[in-house]
Amino acid sequence: MPNIAILGGGLCGRLTALQLAGYGFQTALFNKGTRAGEQAAAHIAAAMLAPLAESIEATPEVIALGRQSLPLWRNILGRLNTPVFMQQNGSLIVWHGQDKPLAVQFEQHLCRATGSPHPAEHWQAAEIAAHEPQLAGRFQTAFYLPEEGQLDNRQVLNALADALEQQNVACHWQHETDAASLHQKFDWVIDCRGFGAQQAWNRPSENRSRLRGVRGEVARVYAPEITLNRPVRLLHPRYPLYIAPKENHVFVIGATQIESENDAPVSVRSGLELLSALYAVHPAFGEAHILELAANLRPTLNHHNPEIRFNRNRRLIEINGLFRHGFMIAPAVTAAAVRLAVDLLQDKRPSEKDVESGLVYIEE
């Protein structure tokens, strides 16, 4: 049985290693960062499973991968021994009265993305008050997307690490290495390092999409006076915002998408804009305790789609480009990468179905 090394232990690396172990492969994972995953983009993510709400920022291929991933997440979490918070109460899209044109544009975009004339439920003030009492009177109309959900990102990373160790996957935390070194001991290497693979990914090639980092900033607050039953998105011309309520009155708030590879801490201006928009959703957030303001770089390709590349001669598979949609699409992407690995190990051609799904298999 071939032995496989996973390079990078963020969300993609952990999911890939777990799926390979399920096939019975001898698998080892090597991660520059810690078991908790503090250095990974997944560590500060909101972990929303919201392909329709994200459709205004996502390609059709990404939306399809997000829809595929929802049932995959339920299956994955159902097989883990460590509990993980998963909620599928839908997403709520709200706006202030003066921003109604943004709501019209958003719904038009949803119609195009889904091909449906009625892609969202329209909630009026009474329905908002019934389902989200603490937003009563603050918004007169909203869109409700019932199929969407969210996870607790840090619980997922911890539960996956537990599962890998239970499956006897050799996990080498805080172990920096590279594909060339791993090939001395392993038959194949799967590189899941995200932005950490930028130098290797951007090696000269006519066909390669360039990998860059897109900065995202997130706040984590504790607000014991606030209860929300589902993620809420605020449409705003300057400060679009999402609020993802986790367990025990912890909320993850994000908005920014900055074309920058600067990984410095969150600036005062960014923090003020983020928290001001949060306060505009509900003034009680003004009394919330700031637990964390964090920034990280999301690995992004030119076309904003993920790619899976492989090189038979180098015995290397690379997964990258999940952009801001990591949790939303990771199960579908890593499942396709594992199917590719199984096909290559059996000297088969890559699945045409996976190619057609929007993932780009490129052989070098």
8-state DSSP, 132? -
The amino acid sitting at 235 is L
Sorted by where each starts, the structural domains of the chain and their CATH numbers stand as 3-72+152-207+303-363 (3.50.50.60), 86-150+213-301 (3.30.9.10)
Residue 357 has pLDDT above 90, yes or no: no
**List of E strands, the chain:** 3-7, 26-31, 48-49, 86-87, 91-95, 121-124, 141-145, 149-151, 170-173, 188-191, 212-222, 232-235, 241-245, 250-254, 289-300, 307-311, 316-320, 360-363
Lowest-pLDDT range of 12-21, 31-40, 271-280, 322-331 = 271-280
Query: How sure is the predictor about 2, in pLDDT bands with cuts at 50, 70 and 90?
Result: confident
pLDDT tens digits, 163-194: 999 999 999 999 999 999 999 999 999 999 99
pLDDT tens digits, 80-134: 999 999 999 999 999 999 999 999 999 999 998 888 889 999 999 999 999 999 9
- Overall pTM > 0.85: yes
% of the chain beyond a pLDDT of 90: 80
Q: Which of 319, 356, 327, 33 is nearest to 171 (CA)?
A: 33
pLDDT of residue 177: 96
pLDDT of residue 207: 66
Residue 33 has pLDDT above 90, yes or no: yes
For the chain, what is the total number of helices (H) and then of strands (E)?
10, 18
Residue 355 has pLDDT above 70, yes or no: no
8-state DSSP, 345? H
**List of E strands, 152-249:** 170-173, 188-191, 212-222, 232-235, 241-245
pLDDT of residue 358: 60
Q: 143 CB contacts (<8 Å, ≥6 apart)?
A: 92, 93, 103, 106, 107, 110, 120, 121, 122, 123
User: What mean pLDDT, rounded, does the chain reach?
Assistant: 93
pLDDT of residue 333: 95
Gap between the Cα atoms of 336 and 330, Å rounded: 10
Gap between the Cα atoms of 203 and 172, Å rounded: 26
% of the chain beyond a pLDDT of 70: 97
Residues in the chain: 364
CB atoms within 10 A of CB 68: 18
pLDDT of residue 65: 93
Query: How sure is the predictor about 360, in pLDDT bands with cuts at 50, 70 and 90?
Result: low
pLDDT of residue 56: 83
Query: How sure is the predictor about 71, in pLDDT bands with cuts at 50, 70 and 90?
Result: very high
Residue 353 has pLDDT above 90, yes or no: no
Residue range 273-295: average pLDDT? Answer: 94
**Strand 188-191 relative to strand 3-7, pairing:** parallel
pLDDT of residue 362: 74
8-state DSSP, 84? -
Residue 280 has pLDDT above 70, yes or no: yes
Residue range 156-168: average pLDDT? Answer: 97
Residue 271 burial class via C-beta count within 10 angstroms: exposed 0-12, middle 13-18, buried 19 and up? middle
Residue range 272-296: average pLDDT? Answer: 94
Residue range 303-310: average pLDDT? Answer: 92
Alpha-carbon dihedral 316, 18, 213, 266, rounded to 10 degrees? -150
Q: Does residue 149 or residue 353 have the better pLDDT?
A: 149
pLDDT of residue 242: 95
